[in-house]
Structure 1
Amino acid sequence: MKLFQCQCCGQILYFENTVCLKCGSMLGYLPDEDRMIAVAPDGPVWNALPGTHGMNAAVPDPGPLRFCRNWERSACNWMHRSAEGDGTGTAGYCLACQHNRTVPDLSTPDHVALWTRIEAAKRRLVYSVLRLNLPRPLPDSGHPEPLVFDFLADDPGSPDPVLTGHSDGVITIALIEADDAAREERRSQMGEAYRTLLGHFRHEVGHYYWDILVRDNPAALEAYRTLFGDERADYAEAMQRHYESGAPEGWENRFVSAYATMHPWEDWAETWAHYLHMVDTLETAGALGLRVDAGSTLAAHVESDPYRTPTAAELIATWVPLTLALNSLNRSMGQTDLYPFSLPADVQTKLRFVHDLVSHCGETEPKTTSPV
């Protein structure tokens, strides 16, 4: 994630900021220009304030803007250019929130705070999707497989909990996953090294992009099966075997996580998620000017845009020393490793496959105002 700058006072801004802490200006993120803008109200719309600092000072006025309808609940800080600020369907929602199909009952007080956390993670996911120029058909676009989000709370009258997952373009996130204590309990019970809301989004969207980028592409599908295995293997049997017997011995030499060993689809989704971990974290490190230099064996200089890095090898060469440094810093604070994974040769080959597929999508400049 990049850093931003207030055009009014030059203050450094972060992706989730809604108010500049230095000059007090209201802030909104405009995704089609990938910038944070200080704005002032003008009747039903908002106008960008005059720029005097930083790179935003010379950027043309974006014209009248509106905040996403979810901004009213402090659940979104994105803006849009829609002429209408209210209405039915997707009218009045930002580019990210137009992908929402279902949100939990917000008349329940506990739901609002949890849903807000889910929305924050979702915006980070959509940011990466936009930066990579991946297709993202909207629910009302007429596309046979739009990208859709359902955020669901458990039904008190049902014995069956909501399960986070993906099916036919619909990504379901269980509301309980936004409860830190509940999520940590599940992580511990399942013996996972890592479990976060953003990780869920990145994993599940990996399933979606397998359908979009691999399934109907004969060349990609053949290469996928060579690296990950045959996805036609019975999923229910694979899941039962995994939860009864666990990961096979020596899995660390071929897979990025134990869960990736369950089925070729899960291996793909886990690898995809780690690719998004890499590019977004490396962008953050570069924006902060982080440099890791510990002799000839440990060096990470993030000096280019990870979202536009030509090869996966370059990403990995920077990523590995950075994660070693970050893990060491966490240990110094008595915390668990930030990135408790390793990237053996087989995993690096899989990451290269993901990178090459994604790079084809990013060969043209992103057009974030387009519905697809």
Structure 2
Amino acid sequence: MKIFQCGHCAQSLFFESYTCENCGHLSGFRDQDRKMLTFDPLGISLISDQEHIEYKYCKNKEYNVCNWLIEKNSPEEFCNACQLNRTIPNLSDTENFEKWKNLEIAKHRLIYQLQKIGLPLPSKIINDEGLCFDFVVKQNDPDLMTGHADGVITILLSEADSALREQMRKQFLEPYRTLIGHLRHEVGHYFWDRLIYTNEQLLTEFRAIFGDEQVSYADALQKYYKEGAPAHWQKSFVSKYATSHPWEDWAETWAHYLHIMDMLETAYFFGLNVKPIDPSNTMKANVSFDPYTVANFDVIIETCIPLSFAVNSINRAMGIPDVYPFIITPNMVEKMKFIHKMLLPKR
């Protein structure tokens, strides 16, 4: 993600910032051009500091879960990200509210990235071909689970409980389990339906790389949960779960593609480079480009590997788990190249 600045004093702002901590001006994100605008906190209207255009906040600003802006005269009450919410939990429950807030932070970052790629994001609430989110409490429905079905992405609120999520990560022997990871994975299923299934050429290429998705999904999952991943799965798959079925291989690979692109975009805007003092060390990277503008995916991977190694090393120095605890193999690269090539024309 890019770095944002206050339009009044040039102080750096986070994507989720509501105010500038330096000068006190209000801040809000305009998703049409991915800019953070700032406003005089004493002003009667929300008029931007630099452009002098009047805006209003998304209605979810009242819960402090969204700082996105809408044009003052727009009939919409919710921003483009919050319009995708079909179900939210009962907010009178304090625990529900805190978990929903964490889900919204992750969802807004997901939408930022999908918009930057150039992917259409119609709301399923008004368009059958669209996308929507159900953030739900499992309660008494044992069949309710995190997943995707026909454009509806369901995320259990329990996933926003960091302690429970860590418990589940250990239970399933996963090296990585996060809210943004869940969202990127599930939205991958949605875009498989919209981008691959409807394109005969892409579907043929998909099957050559990921396998035949016509194999029974239910049977494949049952076999996976009974027998586990095959031996030496690491050579061809990004995770054990990716081995269960071509659809899951796609969704896991899609998620990792988004991880890598977001990591490099952030490094680019911070001007990060990896240049070990030891001249014989080959772990070098110059993040001098926005990855979304690069056609050659090899350049992205060659930069990502040293960068992730450096960041992982810093985390280990602090006794924190690796940011990116995965080994990228040539087979994984080929799968991500397919995604990158497919998405390039949409930028």
TM-score normalized by the length of structure 2 = 0.96
Following TM superposition, by how much is the alpha carbon of 1:141 offset from its aligned partner in structure 2, in angstroms?
A: 4.3
Q: Which residue of 2 aligns with 1:196?
A: 178
Sequence identity, in percent?
Answer: 44
Residues in 2 aligned to 1:216 and 1:33: alpha-carbon distance in whole angstroms = 29
Instruction: Render the CA deviation track for 1:93-137: whole Å, top value 9, x for unaligned.
Output: 011101111101112121111100000000000000110001211
CA contact (8 A) 1:137 1:145 kept: yes
Contact 2:135-2:156 within 8 A present in 1 as well: yes
Q: Which residue number in structure 2 is paired with residue 224 of structure 1?
A: 206
Distance 1:105 1:140 in 2: 20
Q: Which structure would you say has the larger RCO, counting Cα contacts within 8 Å and 6 or more residues apart?
A: 1
For 1:146, the equivalent position in structure 2 comes to 130
> Structure 1 residues 185, 161: CA separation in 2 closer, same or farther (over 3 Å shift)?
farther
Query: For residue 98 of structure 1, what is the aligned residue in structure 2?
Result: 83
Residue type of the alignment partner of 1:215 = Y
Residue matched to 1:23: 23
Report whether the alignment pairs 1:248 with 2:230.
yes
Q: Write the distance in 1 (CA, Å) between the matches of 2:63 and 2:14.
A: 20
Structure 1 residue runs of 4+, over 6 Å off? Answer: none
1:167-223 CA-partner distances (Å, limit 9, x unpaired): 001111111100100111111101111000000000001001101110010000000
1:46 aligns with 2:36: no
Hey, what's the Cα distance between the residues in 2 that align with 1:311 and 1:327? 25
Residue correspondence of structure 1 range 1-372 to structure 2 within 5 A = 1-40=1-40, 43=44, 45-49=45-49, 51=50, 60-61=51-52, 63-81=53-71, 83=73, 91-142=76-127, 144-155=128-139, 158=140, 160=142, 162-294=144-276, 295=279, 297-362=282-347
SS at match of 2:28: strand
Unaligned runs of 5+ in 2: none
Distance in 2 separating the partners of 1:98 and 1:83 = 17
Q: Residue 367 of structure 1 corresponds to which residue in structure 2?
A: none
Cα distance in 1 between the residues matched to 2:182 and 2:40: 36
Q: Give the SS at the match of 1:343.
A: coil
> Could you say what secondary structure the match of 1:80 adopts?
strand
SS of aligned partner of 1:139: coil
Q: Secondary structure at the match of 1:65?
A: strand
Q: Match of 2:310, as an amino acid? A: A
Answer yes or no: is the 8 Å Cα contact 1:82–1:92 preserved in 2. Answer: no
In structure 1, how many angstroms separate the alpha carbons of the residues matched to 2:251 and 2:125?
A: 26
Deviations 1:125-161 (A, max 9, x none): 000011000121123443x320111110122xx1516
Task: Decide whether the 8 Å contact of 2:147 with 2:186 is kept in 1.
Answer: yes
Shift of 1:84: 5.2
Counterparts of 2:7 and 2:141, CA distance in 1: 52
**Letter aligned with residue 278 of structure 1:** I
CA distance in 1, matches of 2:285, 2:144: 41
SS at match of 2:27: strand
What is the letter of the counterpart of residue 327 of structure 1? N
| CA pair 20-263 structure 1, distance change in 2 beyond 3 A | same
Provide the rounded CA distance (Å) in 1 between the counterparts of 2:205 and 2:315: 38
- Contact kept, 8 Å, 1:19 with 1:27, in 2: the verdict is yes
| CA displacement 1:235-255 (0-9 Å, x = unmatched) | 111111111111100101001
Aligned equivalents of 2:147, 2:135: Cα separation in 1: 11
**What is the CA–CA distance in structure 2 between the aligned matches of 1:100 and 1:340, rounded to whole Å?**
31
Task: Give the letter for the 1:148 counterpart.
Answer: C
- Farther-moved stretch of structure 1 (176-185 vs 105-114): 105-114
Structure 1, residues 261-302: CA drift from partner, whole Å, max 9, x if none?
A: 010000000110001001111111111121101245111111
- Tell me the secondary structure at the aligned position of residue 76 of structure 1: coil
Distance 2:47 2:237 in 1: 50
SS of 1:149's equivalent in the other structure is strand
Larger CA deviation: 192-201 vs 325-334:
325-334
Runs of 5+ unmatched residues, structure 1:
52-59, 86-90, 363-372
Rounded Cα–Cα distance in structure 2 between residues aligned with 1:309 and 1:135? 21
Which secondary structure state, in structure 2, belongs to the residue aligned with residue 351 of structure 1?
helix
Q: RMSD value over aligned CA atoms?
A: 1.4
- State the AA in 2 paired with 1:312: F
How far apart are residue 337 of structure 1 and its match? 1.4
